[in-house]
Amino acid sequence: MSSDIPEPAADEIATTPTPPYTAVIFTSLRTAGDNGYTAMATQIAELAAQQPGYLGIESAGEEVEITVSYWQTEDHAKDWKRVVQHAEAQRLGRELWYSRYVIRVATVTREYGN
């Protein structure tokens, strides 16, 4: 990665607290071409990290992309939704970047791993 491009704010696997907490699962099908997407995605991840109740974010994929953001409570996730909706990103996203997307808000009840 060029040193001119900032690293994403996300860790690869988020460090999250003992459940319960809130997960927002964003699954999208991307359109062809970047169209400013990469720069926007970096900015949005940095903005998310500054919001109250932010716990972490994970993102994978290109044509099919899954991004999961984690929040202390569902109210924190709702506040983040309002911030994003006010941003230009949301309007452009619908028009330029995604042919389809689904957002699911969920309460994490158990977590385990290695």
Considering the complex, state which of residue 49 and residue 108 has its C-beta at the smaller distance from its own copies. Answer: 108
> At closest approach, how far in Å is the CB of 47 from its own copies?
21
Taking each helix axis as running N to C, give the angle between helix 74-86 and helix 37-49, from 0 to 180 degrees, rounded to the nearest 10: 140
Q: Which of 35, 59, 72, 73 binds its own copies (CB under 8 A)?
A: 59
Output the smallest distance, CB 46 to its own copies, in A: 18
- Please report whether residue 18 would count as binding its own copies according to CB under 8 A: no
Query: Peptide bond before 8: cis, by omega within 30 degrees of 0?
Result: no
Q: From 32-40, 43-51, 54-62, 83-91, give the range in contact with its own copies by CB under 8 A.
A: 54-62
Report how far residue 8's alpha carbon sits from residue 38's, in angstroms, rounded to the nearest whole number: 10
Q: How far apart are CA 53 and CA 83, in angstroms?
A: 13
Cβ proximity to its own copies: between 3 and 110 the closer is 110
Instruction: Judge contact between 22 and 62, C-beta under 8 A.
Output: no
The answer to whether the beta carbons of residues 101 and 67 sit under 8 Å apart is: no
Site residues for its own copies per CB under 8 A: 12-14, 16, 19, 23, 25, 27-29, 58-62, 64-66, 68, 74, 94, 98, 100-114
